[in-house]
Amino acid sequence: MTSPVDITPFMELAEVSRVYGSGDTEVRALDSVSLSIWPGDFVSIVGPSGSGKSTLLGLLGCLDAPSSGRIVVDGEDVTALADAARTRVRGRSIGFVFQQFHLIPHLDALGNVETALLYRGVRPADRRERALESLARVGLAHRHDHRPVQLSGGEQQRVALARSLVTEPKILLADEPTGALDSKNAANVMEILGGLRSPERAIVIVTHDNGIADSAARKISMRDGRVVSDEATTP
């Protein structure tokens, strides 16, 4: 994929490998992967299970450090950062959406969205206002006081989306975002995700569903810890 040279990527992976274990039990989950995520990107990462896409997601999300290679997020080299510093980069630049939603069960929708704004010096009133705005973006402002058990799967995933958006992250990482949803809710969530495309944001979806993958603008295919193809999808 070509991009204008005067734009810096949001994220850059250079010759990144991730090895678990050592000696006979050594597993090379990710093998010398290089790729860049650009502003405005709408990327899907596909591959069968064991292809290394979860490992790649952990590295993209700054949840893990590479065994070798170099990772730059938003201009900052995070390769060798200590946990606390990497956590700050994560909180500042990356938003997460998970297959299992991972909402905090004892908090209502608003509380779950607000959780992403804690410990950032945001005044409670501002925090509430921003969380409500974010819920409105996914069409759930009217259900802000419902707890996760009172929401449908699709609604829960939309709350999770609102939570990931409220911090205005550069990169939105979605791990099988429709994996636990029926087709109607899946389509709804994908529609919202597609609508979130913006030049100031990159959206990365990890999936094994080719239909979902093809709805993205760029598709990265993985196999055995390597990137086997990285190309624009043909609509």
Partner 1 sequence: MSTFRDLLRVSLSGLAARKMRTVLLLLGPMIGVAAIIAAVGLTDSAKGDLKAKVAELGTNLVEISASSSFGQETPLLPEDAIERALTVTTVETVASVRQLSNVLVTPYTEAREEFETIPVPVLAADDVLPDVLEVDLVAGRWLDAFDESTGARVAVIGQSLAQEFSYLPGENRTIELDGFAYAVVGVLERVPLEPGFDNAVFIPYRTAGDDFLDDELEPNKLYVRCEEGQEDLTAQALGVAIGLGGPDEIAADIKSEALELAAQSDRQLQLIVVSMGLLAIVVGGLGIANVMSISVIQRSAEIGIRRALGHTRRIIALQFLLEAVAVGIVGGILGVLLGMLAIFVGVSAAGWVFVMASWLAPAGVALAVVISVLAGSYPAVRAARLEPLETLRLG
The binding site for partner 1 (CB under 8 A) comprises: 49, 53-54, 57-58, 61, 63-64, 83-84, 87-88, 90-92, 96, 98, 100, 102-107, 111, 115-116, 118-124, 163, 167, 175-176, 206
Nearest approach in angstroms of CB 26 to partner 1 is 19
| CA–CA separation, 72 and 13 (whole Å) | 7
Residue 64 vs residues 19, 116, 182, 186: alpha-carbon distances, Å: 12, 20, 31, 28
Please check whether residue 209 is in contact with residue 178, taking contact to mean a CB–CB distance below 8 angstroms. yes
Expressed in percent and rounded to 5, the helix, strand and coil fractions of the chain are 35, 25, 40
The nearer residue to partner 1, 40 or 89, going by C-beta atoms, is: 89
Please check whether residue 161 is in contact with residue 181, taking contact to mean a CB–CB distance below 8 angstroms. no
Pairing between β-strand 68-73 and β-strand 11-20 as defined by DSSP bridges: antiparallel
Nearest approach in angstroms of CB 104 to partner 1 is 5
Nearest approach in angstroms of CB 11 to partner 1 is 16
Please check whether residue 157 is in contact with residue 101, taking contact to mean a CB–CB distance below 8 angstroms. yes
The nearer residue to partner 1, 38 or 96, going by C-beta atoms, is: 96
The nearer residue to partner 1, 115 or 233, going by C-beta atoms, is: 115
The nearer residue to partner 1, 88 or 142, going by C-beta atoms, is: 88
Nearest approach in angstroms of CB 6 to partner 1 is 30
Apex 60 CA angle, 55 and 66, nearest 5: 60
| CA–CA separation, 125 and 52 (whole Å) | 42
Nearest approach in angstroms of CB 153 to partner 1 is 16
The nearer residue to partner 1, 35 or 174, going by C-beta atoms, is: 174
Nearest approach in angstroms of CB 64 to partner 1 is 6
Chain-centroid distance, C-alpha 199: 16
Please check whether residue 9 is in contact with residue 36, taking contact to mean a CB–CB distance below 8 angstroms. yes
The nearer residue to partner 1, 4 or 124, going by C-beta atoms, is: 124
